[in-house]
Amino acid sequence: MTPVKNYQQHLSGAESLVTSYEEIRAGFVSLALERNRRATPYVEQARALKFKASKASNPKALIEIDDIQPALLTAAGISDKAAGHLTQKDKLEAIQGLIKNFLEPAGAAFVEELVFRFLLTRGDTLGGSMRNVGGELAQRKLTRMIISSLTLAGIPYYWLHKNNGSWIKSSDNDADIELYLKGLSWSNKGNNRTILYNLTVPLVRKNVDLCLFDCKYNELDEAIKLPKLYLALGELKGGIDPAGADEHWKTANSALNRIRSAFHQKGLSPFTFFVGAAIVSDMATEIWGQLEGGSLTNAANLIKENQITSLCNWLSNI
């Protein structure tokens, strides 16, 4: 009897990879909820700004309120990044332009006008962060599934905090750590494994969404330089809009081909895999063909719980 391949644990054919209309709709709802979650701090800032600005008797008096100066700059259309490149004189001119051109013409409603313009700039900031949210949500979901697989097997792990770069030992209180996690590391049956997200792989000279290494977490810096220690490399595409699905797959497929070519030149063949949220029919057929042909080791639809659970179980047991 022919042994069952890893992807056959959760895929029966190309059609099983396709994202249904109901799943696409649910994905859009998830993105909307995430957008609202990220918008909450900006809404609270706007409320605080309205309260403080209401103390000014007229638009020019806003300049005298010290603790709203950064918010005035934001309302003037100056992003936080741009503000770092401006002199104090430049900032004052921008605020004076806001007052003269927009707040004074608003008359008694100048505070409301200020708040609207503050939110307009903050909305642009939010829009920029939302462009990457699909990938972030994909990484979080994959991470949580890997952690669940390890926890159910009673395997302790360490996780890498993306802000301070420290490795932290797992604990019972691991809720929401996927929001701050950049890597995972564990040992199982004498094998040391470490996962790192969003790494520029020296051999490939391009960013790879996920790399699995044959090493301990405290050996990672050296392992990154050694091609033979790369066990699996994968591309994650969390965008849910089916209109962009083919383009996302083309980008991921090019990246996977580049990975295979670079390692092949060193006589190495690490596993490669693909995880996507929006997978349409033609794309699914191509992915299935690569799985059957052996160029792609594994694949899963991010929206389908059984598929992503199976793939993460495979990753945690390589």
Angle between helices 133-152 and 21-53 (to 10 degrees): 110
Q: What is the mean pLDDT of residues 284-293?
A: 96
Q: Evaluate if residue 45 carries a pLDDT over 60.
A: yes
Please, what is the Cα angle at 315 between 314 and 318, to 5 degrees? 80
Q: Which of 36-50, 85-99, 116-130, 211-225 has the lowest mean pLDDT?
A: 116-130
Over residues 183-206, the mean pLDDT reads: 95
Comparing 66-75, 126-135, 206-215, 230-239, which segment has the lowest mean pLDDT?
126-135
pLDDT tens for each residue of 198-251: 999 999 999 999 999 999 999 999 999 999 999 999 999 988 888 888 898 999
The ranges of the chain annotated as CATH 1.10.238.90 are 36-130
Q: What is the pLDDT of residue 131?
A: 62
Residue 304 has what pLDDT?
94
pLDDT for residue 129 is more than 70: no
Percent of the chain with pLDDT over 70: 96
How far is 136 from 138, CA to CA, in rounded Å?
A: 5
| Averaged pLDDT, 75-85 | 86
Give the pLDDT of residue 130: 59
Q: What is the pLDDT of residue 128?
A: 64
pTM score over 0.95: no
Q: Which of 126-130, 138-142, 273-277 shows the lowest per-residue confidence on average (mean pLDDT)?
A: 126-130
pLDDT at residue 177, rounded to an integer? 87
- Give every CB contact of residue 268 below 8 A, 6+ residues apart in sequence: 227, 228, 230
Which pLDDT belongs to residue 3? Answer: 64
Where in the chain are all domains bearing CATH 3.40.91.10?
Answer: 132-316
Q: pLDDT at position 132, please?
A: 67
- Residue-wise pLDDT for 296-306, tens only, equals 999 999 999 99
Residues constituting the chain: 318
Q: What is the CATH number of domain 132-316?
A: 3.40.91.10
Please determine, for residue 175, whether its predicted confidence score (pLDDT) is greater than 80.
no
- Residues 247-256 have a mean pLDDT of 94
Q: Is 112 buried (19+), middle (13-18) or exposed (0-12) by CB count in 10 A?
A: middle
Q: Specify the CATH architecture of the domain 36-130.
A: Orthogonal Bundle (1.10)
Structure tokens, 21: 């209309």
What value does the mean pLDDT take over residues 27-38? 82
Residues 6+ apart with CB under 8 A from 27: 19, 240, 277, 278, 303
Give the whole-angstrom CA distance, residue 306 versus residue 8.
Answer: 12
Q: Give the sign of the dihedral formed by CA 162, CA 167, CA 172, CA 173.
A: negative
Confidence of residue 173 (pLDDT cuts 50, 70, 90): confident
Higher-confidence position of 135 and 54: 54
